[in-house]
Amino acid sequence: MKKSKTKTDEFGFLMDKAREAGAADVRIIAADGIIVEDRVRLKCRSGCPSYGKYLTCPPHAPEIEDFRQYLRDYRTALLVKFKSTAYLDDSIRSCLFSSLFDPGAQPAQKEKAARFMKENSDNSRYIHRIMLDLERAAFNAGYPFAVTTICGACGLCETCNIATGICNHPTMKRFSPEGLGINVVKTTANAGMPIRFPAPDNPGRIAILLID
C-alpha cells in the first residue's frame, strides 16, 4: 500500500531552506491552527510606537475580519523562529519603550534601548529577505498564493510614505503577524515552539509563511 505524503514530505524543502538561512526552529502547522484575535489589534493601538507610521502596520494593515477570510483559503503555515542578535539588557527588559520615549529616562537607559532597537531593526530587515526567499521558493514549487509575514514594523525605508500611501517597495511589502491580528504567543505555544515574556537576552523573532 502506498504511503500517503505527509506535510513534512511536502514542505520539507522549505524547512530545510529556512534552517540553512539561520532559522532556530521551523514548524509546519495547519493554517486553521493560527489563532486570530481582535484584542491583538488593541495592543497595536495601545502603546506601540509603530502604530500608524508604516503602510504595513495598523490601521493600514488589512482589517482582522478580512484577514480571517483570507486565512480560510490557506491550508498550511510554516512557523519560522529566528534568534535575534540584538542584546536586551536587564535594565531595559521590562521598560523598553519608556526607556526610549520617557523624558525622565536616564541617558544610559535611552542609549541601551536605542542600540537594541537599531540592532533589532537590522535583524528584521535580514529576516524579511529570508522570508521573501521562502515565499518565492514556495511559489516556484507550485504554490502561487504563498505569502509571508515579517517580524515587526517594516524597515525597508528610513521613512515610510504614509503621506502618499504609496509604498516604495510594493513587491516586498508584507505585514507583521501581530498587525494582522495573529496571537503569536498562543499560535507558537500550540505548535510546540513557545516564546516567553519578559523577553530573554536575545529575543526570538517569529515570521509565518502561509501556503495554499
Whether the pLDDT of residue 3 is over 70: the answer is no
The alpha carbon of 167 is separated from its chain's Cα centroid by a whole number of angstroms, namely: 19
Taking 3-state DSSP, the helix, strand and coil percentages for the chain, each rounded to the nearest 5, stand at 40, 10, 45
59 preceded by a cis bond (ω within 30 of 0): yes
Locate 174 and state its grid cell. Answer: 508584507
Q: How far is CA 51 from CA 42, 63, 154, 157, in A?
A: 11, 14, 12, 16
What would the grid cell of residue 87 be? Answer: 542584546
What span, in angstroms and rounded, lies between the C-alpha atoms of 201 and 181? Answer: 26
pLDDT 10s digits, 88-133: 877 777 777 778 778 878 888 888 888 878 888 888 899 999 999 9
Instruction: Look at residue 60 and tell me whether its pLDDT is greater than 60.
Output: yes
Residue 194 has pLDDT above 80, yes or no: yes
Of 45, 54, 58, residue with least CA distance to 165: 54
| pLDDT beyond 90 at 184 | yes
Full strand arrangement of the beta sheet holding 147-148: 25-30, 76-83, 204-211, 147-148
User: What's residue 93's pLDDT?
Assistant: 72
Average pLDDT, the chain: 89
pLDDT-derived band at 198, boundaries 50, 70, 90: low
Cell of 22: 539561520
- 27 grid coordinates: 514548524
Cβ atoms within 10 A of the Cβ of 209, count? 26
Statement: residue 82 has pLDDT above 50: yes
SS3 43: helix
Q: Which of 207, 203, 183 is nearest to 27 (CA)?
A: 207
Higher pLDDT, 173 or 98: 173
**pTM to 2 decimal places:** 0.89
